[in-house]
């Protein structure tokens, strides 16, 4: 079954720049997909349309049965609860501990305290941070902070995990650690993962599906692909 389907999607920003031209795409449940391409190729726009940070100007974007383009501003939270998002800059709350940062995602949707506790500890265990529960973000390394962000993204058991350059700020070694965590999540939890990146090494090493974008056009969608300029 397809988790994501995009049909004739076009995105034109208000300043007149067109980021995506006529994109057609179907992504299966449980898959691990890289989105690659140079700067300005439309990677980020594609990811943003999937969590409705941006609305497509034309066409249809369906995520887990929800028509994202038609989703009203007030109902966006319904989509967001189905997916987790990880960014290059982690986006953690600096004044809250690791535990509080992850629990925050569940508190926002009104989960019970004991449920929060079990889920948060499980998520932190999955990313390998169970011993840093009471640390603050600034006491952690970049890789660890990103793992906290991943834990926050998966704590609600989303069907889909969107990653926008999650290794962009990390050195190769830490990047591989993150990729290991993501692969485990993909395998253990069955979470579909879509990751935008321009890190050649990672893409070549992981041998996953690859979507190549260039200047807003879909160039290639390959199984077990590699990074091609």
Partner 1 sequence: MKLFRMLGRSIRDAIKSVIRNFSLSLASISCITITLIIVAIAIIASYNVQNFTKEIERDMTIVVFLENNIEQEDIDDVEKELKSIPNVEKYTFQSKQEVKKQMQEESDVFNTVLENWDDEESPLKDTFQVKVRNVEKLSNTAKKIEKVDHVSVVRYGSGMVDKMVKAFNSVEKVTFGIVIALVLVTVFLIINTIKLTISARRREISIMRLVGASNFTIKTPFIIEGMILGIFGSIVPILITTYGYLAFYRHFEGHLYSQLIELIKPEPFIYQISGIVLLIGIIVGMIGSSSAVRKYLKV
Write out the residues near partner 1 by the rule CB under 8 A.
Answer: 51-55, 73-74, 76-81, 85, 91, 93, 104-105, 107-110, 112, 152, 156
DSSP 105: H
Radius of gyration of the chain (CA): 17
CB atoms closer than 10 angstroms to residue 53: 13
| CB closer to partner 1 out of 105 and 179 | 105
| 3-state class (DSSP) for residue 177 | helix
Instruction: Give the strand pairing for 192-196 and 32-36.
Output: parallel
Min CB(161)–partner 1 separation in Å: 13
Question: Which sign does the torsion angle of CA 135, 77, 43, 126 carry?
Answer: positive
Nearest distance from residue 181's CB to partner 1, in Å? 19
Shortest Å, Cβ 73 to partner 1: 6
Distance (Å, rounded) from C-alpha 129 to C-alpha 136?
A: 12
Nearer to partner 1, 44 or 209 (CB): 44
Q: Which is nearer to partner 1, 33 or 102 (CB)?
A: 102
- Whose Cβ is closer to partner 1: residue 80's or residue 214's? 80
Nearest approach, Cβ of residue 57 and partner 1 (Å): 14
Instruction: Report the C-alpha gap between 177 and 160 in whole angstroms.
Output: 20
């Amino acid at each position: 079954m397809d988790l994501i389907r995009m049909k004739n999607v076009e995105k034109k920003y208000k300043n007149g720049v067109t980021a995506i031209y006529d994109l057609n795409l179907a992504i299966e449940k449980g898959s691990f997909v890289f989105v690659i391409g140079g700067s300005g190729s439309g990677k980020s726009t594609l990811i943003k349309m999937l969590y409705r940070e941006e609305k497509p100007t034309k066409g249809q974007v369906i995520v887990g049965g929800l028509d994202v383009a038609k989703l009203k501003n007030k109902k966006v939270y319904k989509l967001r609860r189905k997916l987790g998002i990880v960014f290059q800059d982690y986006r953690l709350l600096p004044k809250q501990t690791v535990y509080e940062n992850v629990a925050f995602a569940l508190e926002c949707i009104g989960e019970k305290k004991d449920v929060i506790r079990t889920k948060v500890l499980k998520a932190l265990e999955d990313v390998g941070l169970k011993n840093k529960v009471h640390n603050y973000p600034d006491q952690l390394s970049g890789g660890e902070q990103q793992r906290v962000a991943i834990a926050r993204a998966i704590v609600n058991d989303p069907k889909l995990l969107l990653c926008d350059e999650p290794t962009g700020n990390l050195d190769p070694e830490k990047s591989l650690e993150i990729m290991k965590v993501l692969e485990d999540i993909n395998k253990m939890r069955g979470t579909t993962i879509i990751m935008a990146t321009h890190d050649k090494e990672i893409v070549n090493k992981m041998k996953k599906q690859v979507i190549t974008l260039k200047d807003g056009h879909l160039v290639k969608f390959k199984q077990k692909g590699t990074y091609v300029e």
